[in-house]
Amino acid sequence: MPGLDYFSNNTNTNGSTATAAPSESSSGVYYNARLDPKNYLEGPLSPIASTRLRQMLARPGIVTAPGICDGISARCALEAGFECLYQSGAATTASRLGQPDLAIATMNDFVGAANMVCSINPSVPVIADADTGFGGPINVARTVKQYISAGVAGLHIEDQVQTKRCGHLMGKQVVSREEFLTRIRAAVIARDSVPGSDFVIIGRTDSAQVLGMEEAITRLKLARDAGADVCFIEGVKTEELLRSTVAALAPTPVLVNVISGGLTPSFTYQDAERMGAKIIIFSLVSCVAMVHAVRAAMHSLKKTGTDFTSAQGMDPKSFFEVMGLNEVVELDAKAGGSAFQVV
């Protein structure tokens, strides 16, 4: 039963450990022996994405996850050698809907994108934005199960109101601590209801810009105690604040989000590792680059009447090779097919 993964720090008079279901009145702290980081320290990296992510979190080195927005950006990230990907909510909303990050995309939009991205290389962990969980506890639970089914390795859920916005825009509003913790508990319960799942739950707070850093740290500590595996502080503005956040939450892994021109300085992944962060995501790296490249290509086509310059010598076959053409040809040949003997 999911509730059995919750353990209180209290001990009964007979010496046994008391169990407690998650509730606002419970003083218990979530603990699941099966998911203890020490279980992921040794052995080869797993082909199961969620297990692989937990191994990466338990072992030395920072996890660098570039933001991807579609199949092309995912392919390019994998080609570059990245071992973890980040499905940005802002990038997904932009690429699928052509809209800003203002809670316009639905859970189905996010899950549809995740199904495609996770299928490209199912062993590479994908961390996916889940906004506010898309509703109350039941909706949060459904979101978690849908993400697990899509092959996502972990997600983050935040404490903004349902009509949220990008964490690097102004005017954010957050829900109460209690509502935030309800979201985290619902996510953990849903994960634990899936037999054998080691899906990673990341608690994100946007309260630093609204209520101050002290409140942000308090919320992340409460999220950790409610079962969040990783803590994500959005919009941390200085190296000193990131270092103090890491120290306050240790040994829980901390995620930092870098967006060029956003609230957080343009830390490199080496900087973030030196400051103690365990995960760094670059949410808009692909879609901003795409805007620049596509804009330039469109202006060039409009001006010159041809796409010759913007193609930079890439012919159709070379493009399809980036998209996995060689793997498709190889599979067909191994299966005894002959459809792609000449391409």
pLDDT at residue 169, as a whole number = 86
Provide the whole-model pTM: 0.90
168 catalytic? Reply is: no
pLDDT at position 7: 35
Q: Is 86 labeled as catalytic in the residue annotation?
A: yes
User: What radius of gyration, in Å, describes the C-alpha atoms of the chain?
Assistant: 21
Per-block mean pLDDT, blocks of 10 residues, the chain (343 long): 37 35 57 96 97 98 97 97 97 96 96 97 98 97 98 97 91 95 98 97 96 96 98 94 97 96 93 97 96 97 96 95 95 94 92
Per-residue pLDDT, 274:
97
Give long-range contacts, CB 8 A cutoff, 24+ apart: 333-342: none
pLDDT score for 277: 98
- pLDDT confidence of residue 217: 97
Which value, to the nearest 10 degrees, does the dihedral of the CA atoms of residues 20, 25, 31, 34 take? Answer: 50
- Whether 101 sits among the annotated catalytic residues: the reply is yes
Concerning whether 131 is annotated as a catalytic residue, the answer is yes
Active-site position among 69, 70, 118, 158: 158
Q: How large is the angle between the packed helices 107-120 and 71-79, nearest 10 degrees?
A: 40
Both tokens of residue 223?
């999220």
Measure the CA–CA gap between 308 and 162, rounded to whole angstroms. Answer: 46
Angle between helices 137-150 and 107-120 (to 10 degrees): 20
Active-site choice (5, 70, 131, 206): 131
Q: How far apart are CA 131 and CA 278, in angstroms?
A: 21
Q: How far apart are CA 96 and CA 156, in angstroms?
A: 20
Q: pLDDT at position 27, please?
A: 55
* Strand blocks (E) in the chain: 6-11, 17-19, 29-30, 63-68, 85-87, 126-129, 154-158, 200-205, 230-233, 254-257, 279-282
Catalytic: 156?
Answer: yes
Q: Which long-range contacts link 223-227 to residues 24+ away (Cβ below 8 Å)?
A: 223/180, 223/181, 223/184, 224/249, 224/252, 225/29, 225/30, 226/22, 226/30, 226/181, 226/184, 226/185, 226/188, 227/5, 227/6, 227/22, 227/30, 227/32, 227/184, 227/185, 227/187, 227/188, 227/201
- The answer to whether residue 257 is catalytic is yes
To the query of whether residue 234 is one of the catalytic residues in this protein, the response is: yes
pLDDT of residue 28: 81
129 part of the active site: yes
Residue 83: active-site member:
no
d(C-alpha 192, C-alpha 145), whole Å: 10
Tokens standing for residue 103 = 């809670």
Q: Which domains does the chain have, with CATH numbers?
A: 44-290 (3.20.20.60), 306-336 (no CATH)
**Could you give the 3-state DSSP secondary structure of residue 9?**
strand
Cα–Cα distance for residue pair 146/188, rounded to 1 Å: 14
Residue 76 annotated as catalytic = no
Taking alpha carbons only, the member of 125, 124, 190 closest to residue 157 is 190
Which of the following is catalytic: 204, 219, 224, 229? 204
Which listed residue (84, 166, 231, 287) is catalytic? 166
Q: The tokens of 188 are what?
A: 């953990």
Closest CA to 232 of 244, 218, 220: 220
The sheet with strand 29-30 has its strands ordered as 17-19, 6-11, 29-30
Catalytic residue among 70, 129, 159, 206: 129
Query: 99, 93 in Cβ contact below 8 A?
Result: yes
